[in-house]
């Protein structure tokens, strides 16, 4: 009886949510829970936005809206471990670090020149992504069409950019409705790219200046806490402490994210985080394919986010000389093996889109890792349960288990294959149909002709 409405939902191009059924069942599908073995043919029952049951012998409740998923596969919704979706003005989540971003972030109105750490340059540590999210950001639907149901989205401007939030990618009215975890960690970057050292733009103007600044902030934060505590115990006779919102933001962050791509940067940031005594997630990790880098990460028991934006050669005319160094060539050759290397080494890692919004770009990037030695199930885990574990939300998302949030992806074919179609995406139990696509699943890549919207 509900099959009529069901067909309506399956019409391509349909955006409408209409009524959200309280109970749904995805029936006769192949299920890949991630947390357990694959179920060749089974059922997932969704009730009130949560997974109520999953298995090969599950009763379909009579009141449930049934999706006949014969020949299809259900996966947990993918988690983008570092994103900027929903944040206004953010072009792409960055690698940070010392490299010049390809798409420069729009600068705000000119600020006062900074004359030292006390001026708190490039710092908005008190920001929470949850407060900034614009629910009508078009990127939400684009990203969701890749099968991503959950994103850890961050403000990314500046040295202390603010804290990220974990959000479910529902299309709603208010950003607040999307929030799973309001404060997921402080995003740090090592300043604007291209240090001239001349200092015309204020402090800091060099990498060592940025590092010194970060170090000073944490010293100041420790001191700030001591003073506040002492004042709180007995204010009498004590000068009242200053209010420093930059320090408040830093103190409120339970972990930090630091960028590192080259092995020397990975080494440097691991040491730095240990010095600052801050739990740290390292993002970028381009050279993690190097055994020395993987070894360092393993020994430090680090959590790593590996960017899916693999380095690509520039387009050259045939007679133009190839000027890339051996180092750069090796990097381009080996970078997509990084996830496989980390997997082998037993390092805790997840993958992130690094601004690859277009579903085709995202899928191809993941496929490249698979083609370079990462087993499919490990790729999937790196985009689901591992990400959840790194952020401490594995009790809520990241696999198809009873009690977890009903974030699911229904596909015709293996999720990361070139010709797979994503049929449906469930977020918080709400059903969405991906953006209109060309045959073969996910539309053109950004650098293919005929892609008007590109993500350049």
Residues that bind other proteins (CB under 8 A): 98, 102-103, 113-117, 190, 195-212, 215-216, 219-220, 223, 226-227, 230, 262, 264-265, 267-268, 271-272, 292, 312-317, 320-327, 329-330, 332-333, 447-449, 456
Q: Which is nearer to other proteins, 150 or 455 (CB)?
A: 455
CB of 452 to other proteins, least distance (A): 12
Q: Which is nearer to other proteins, 56 or 448 (CB)?
A: 448
Q: Which is nearer to other proteins, 60 or 207 (CB)?
A: 207
CB of 114 to other proteins, least distance (A): 7
CB of 201 to other proteins, least distance (A): 7
The CA distance from 50 to 227, in Å, is: 45
CB of 302 to other proteins, least distance (A): 16
Q: Which is nearer to other proteins, 14 or 329 (CB)?
A: 329
CB of 344 to other proteins, least distance (A): 22
Q: Which is nearer to other proteins, 141 or 222 (CB)?
A: 222
CB of 249 to other proteins, least distance (A): 18
CB of 382 to other proteins, least distance (A): 25
Q: Which is nearer to other proteins, 92 or 431 (CB)?
A: 92
CB of 238 to other proteins, least distance (A): 9
Q: Which is nearer to other proteins, 51 or 260 (CB)?
A: 260
Q: Which is nearer to other proteins, 117 or 155 (CB)?
A: 117
Q: Read off φ and ψ for residue 225, nearest 5 degrees.
A: -65, -45
């Amino acid at each position: 009886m509900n099959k009529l409405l069901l067909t309506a939902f399956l019409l391509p191009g349909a955006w409408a949510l209409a009524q959200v059924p309280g109970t749904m069942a995805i029936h006769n599908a192949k299920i890949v829970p991630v947390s357990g073995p694959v179920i060749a043919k089974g059922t997932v029952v969704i009730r009130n936005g949560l997974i109520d049951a999953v298995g090969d012998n599950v009763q379909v409740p009579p009141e449930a809206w049934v999706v006949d998923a014969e020949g299809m596969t259900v996966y947990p919704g993918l988690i983008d471990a570092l994103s900027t979706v929903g944040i206004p003005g953010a072009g792409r989540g960055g690698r940070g670090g010392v490299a010049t971003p390809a798409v420069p972030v729009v600068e705000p109105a000119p600020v006062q020149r900074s004359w030292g750490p006390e001026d708190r340059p490039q710092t908005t540590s008190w920001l929470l992504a949850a407060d900034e999210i614009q629910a009508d950001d078009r990127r939400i639907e684009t990203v969701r069409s890749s099968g991503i149901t959950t994103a850890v989205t961050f403000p990314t401007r500046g040295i202390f950019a603010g804290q990220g939030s974990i959000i479910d990618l529902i299309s709603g009215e208010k950003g607040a409705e999307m929030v799973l975890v309001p404060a997921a960690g402080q995003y740090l970057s090592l300043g604007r790219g291209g240090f001239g050292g001349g200092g015309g733009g204020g402090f800091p103007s060099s990498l060592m200046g940025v590092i010194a600044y970060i170090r000073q902030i944490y010293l100041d934060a420790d001191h700030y806490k001591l003073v506040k505590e002492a004042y709180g115990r007995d204010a009498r006779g004590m000068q009242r402490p200053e209010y420093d919102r930059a320090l408040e933001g830093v103190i409120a962050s339970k972990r930090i994210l630091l960028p590192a791509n080259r092995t020397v940067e990975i080494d440097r940031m691991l040491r730095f985080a240990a010095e600052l005594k801050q739990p740290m997630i390292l993002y970028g990790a381009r050279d993690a394919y190097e055994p020395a880098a993987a070894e360092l990460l393993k020994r430090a028991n680090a959590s790593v986010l590996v960017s899916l934006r693999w380095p690509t050669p520039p387009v050259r005319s045939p007679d133009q000389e190839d000027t890339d160094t051996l180092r750069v060539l090796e990097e381009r050759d080996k970078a997509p093996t990084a996830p496989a290397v980390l997997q082998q080494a037993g390092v805790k890692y997840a993958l992130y889109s690094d601004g690859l919004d277009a579903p085709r770009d995202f899928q191809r990037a993941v496929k490249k890792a698979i083609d370079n030695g990462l087993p499919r199930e490990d790729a999937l885990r790196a985009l689901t349960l591992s990400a959840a574990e790194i952020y401490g939300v594995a009790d809520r998302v990241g696999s198809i288990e009873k009690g977890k949030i009903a974030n699911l992806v229904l596909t015709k074919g293996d999720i990361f294959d070139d010709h797979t179609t994503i049929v449906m995406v469930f977020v918080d139990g709400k059903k969405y149909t991906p953006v209109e696509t060309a045959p073969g699943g996910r539309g053109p890549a950004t650098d293919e002709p005929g892609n008007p919207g590109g993500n350049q």
